[in-house]
Amino acid sequence: MKITLTINNTKREVEISPSEFLLDVLRRLNYSSVKKGCDTGTCGVCTVLMDGKPVLSCSILAASADGHEITTIEGIEKDPEFKNISNALLEEGADQCGFCSPGLILNVYAMGKELKNPTEDEIKKYLVGNLCRCTGYVPQLRAIKKYFEVKA
Amino acid sequence: MIEIKDYFRPKSVEEAYEKLINIEGAEIIGSGAFMRLASRKINLAIDLQDTGLNYVKLEKDEIKIGGATPLGEVERSEIIKEVFEGKLIHVLQSIWSVQLRNIATIGGTIFPKLGFSDLITALLVLNTDVVLFNNGRMPLEVFLTEKIRKDILVELIIKNENRKMSFQYMRNSFYDFSILNSAVSVDEERNFRISIGARPAVAKLATKAMEYLKNNNDIEEASKLAAEEMEYGSNIKASKEYRKMIAPVLVKRGLEEVIQ
């Protein structure tokens, strides 16, 4: 079947199988920042924005995304908020292998649009679905708090 | 591996139902959440996202939520933030992750009667009705005991009343399914509702304990009664003995919170 996805503001017609998930289609189209991790809806490395809201691309049928706007991290590359978030993470040593970073950054980006000045508890709750095997979350939390403090 | 032969996005619930009953192997899909974990064949996956069932509205004393509304939309609704002292938001925010809640729908959560569901446990104590396209409107507790397979959850109706509620759970970590959960509520006439879920069977009301509290104030005894009238099972999360032991503790905590 043929679907139309608007990926990072570019409309694309894609031939898919009804059994395919969005993650696999995005990776097939070379959006390699969208990572394949647990593939069960748990780890958050496959996070993309669908119509501006963070979703797990491993848990959405590609057919269900037909007609929607998909944003991967490549799509916010020129957004100043992307620089601010990634700089905060770098300054605090909050990413090591970097595998979780695209999903984490997209979720922080979405949180910034939804919550103006989140508390530490709100940050933790919002990011609970972004697992990181390297940092132990302490430098990540420090970086994200710093990002929101500067933003405020 | 999930194998889907065909995908269909109807424009109306009528159209969706017609396909559901006439095509063998047709299924309503919530969105795809957790579908990857399943190993089955679906001849026709019916996606309800264009059927107009995505809404949260307040009509008189009823909160109406469309069956295809993602949990994330419910969580962000100003109506839901206002009612039951914001406690429903607390329940929703304890369900898995933001990313999953933006996918998982109300219908996809309630219709399969998932045993691990936190939302079903909470909704049971809030005088909730489900509206099915074919079988009509019925209380949630009745729906949970019915064997309805081919139907569409069109709407959830929650009575907006002055009811205090509490939701309690036991988990290995915040980001996990509940080993056991319990919800308690009380209205101004001291009509209590108590439910226990993730036993690991789907939640149900503790009717004997609810009846007991009409004429008694002993919450310790009511908690014991509620725990005793449930059946428990074992799974990878916990044994039935463990669940049975923590059940009265969760109910008591809930009762203490709503009585305060």
- What one-character DSSP code corresponds to residue B223? H
> B172 to chain A: which residues are within 8 Å by CB?
none
> A59 to chain B: which residues are within 8 Å by CB?
31-36, 100, 103
> What are the start-end ranges of the H helices in chain A?
22-28, 80-91, 101-114, 120-126, 138-151
> What strands, in cross-sheet order, belong to the sheet with A53-56?
A10-15, A2-7, A69-71, A47-50, A53-56
Q: Is the pLDDT of residue B34 over 80?
A: no
Mutate to test the interface with B, among A56, A58, A121 (most CBs of B within 10 A): A56
Nearest chain A residue to B45, by CA: A18
Q: Which two tokens stand for residue A23?
A: 């993650």
Question: What does the pLDDT read at residue A48?
Answer: 98
Would you call B99 and A107 a contact, using CB atoms and an 8 Å cutoff?
yes
Contacts of B220 (CB under 8 A, 6+ apart): B252
Nearest to B184 by CA among B211, B205, B208: B205
- What one-character DSSP code corresponds to residue B35? G
Q: pLDDT tens across B227-238, in order?
A: 999 999 999 999
> B36 to chain A: which residues are within 8 Å by CB?
21, 39-41, 58-59
Per-residue pLDDT band for B212 (boundaries 50, 70, 90) equals: very high
A60 lies within 8 A of chain B by CB? yes
Q: pLDDT tens across B73-124, in order?
A: 999 999 999 999 999 999 999 999 999 999 999 999 999 999 999 999 999 9
Provide the percentage of residues in chain B whose pLDDT is more than 70. 100
Provide the whole-model pTM.
0.95
Compare CB distances from B99 to A40, A56, A63 and report the shortest one's residue.
A56
CA distances for B218 relative to B163, B203, B208, B243, B252, angstroms: 20, 23, 14, 22, 10
Contact by Cβ (8 Å): A85, A103: no
Q: How far is A56 from A58, CA to CA, in rounded Å?
A: 5
A8 in helix, strand or coil?
Answer: coil
Burial B12-46 (b: 16+ CB within 10 A, else e): ebeebbeebeeeeebbbbbbbbbbbeeeeebebbb
Q: Does the CA dihedral B35-B39-B45-B51 come out positive or negative? A: negative
- What one-character DSSP code corresponds to residue B202? P
A128 lies within 8 A of chain B by CB? yes
Would you call A41 and B34 a contact, using CB atoms and an 8 Å cutoff?
yes
Question: What does the pLDDT read at residue B165?
Answer: 97
- Tell me the mean pLDDT in the region B167-184: 96
Compare CB distances from A58 to B36, B98, B102 and report the shortest one's residue.
B36
Residue type at B24 in one-letter notation = E
Question: What ipTM did this prediction achieve?
Answer: 0.96
Provide the percentage of residues in chain A whose pLDDT is more than 90. 95
How many Cβ pairs within 8 Å bridge chains A and B? 90
Strand bridging mode B3-8 / B41-47: parallel
Compare CB distances from B100 to A56, A66, A110 and report the shortest one's residue.
A56
Q: Which two tokens stand for residue A110?
A: 């979405």
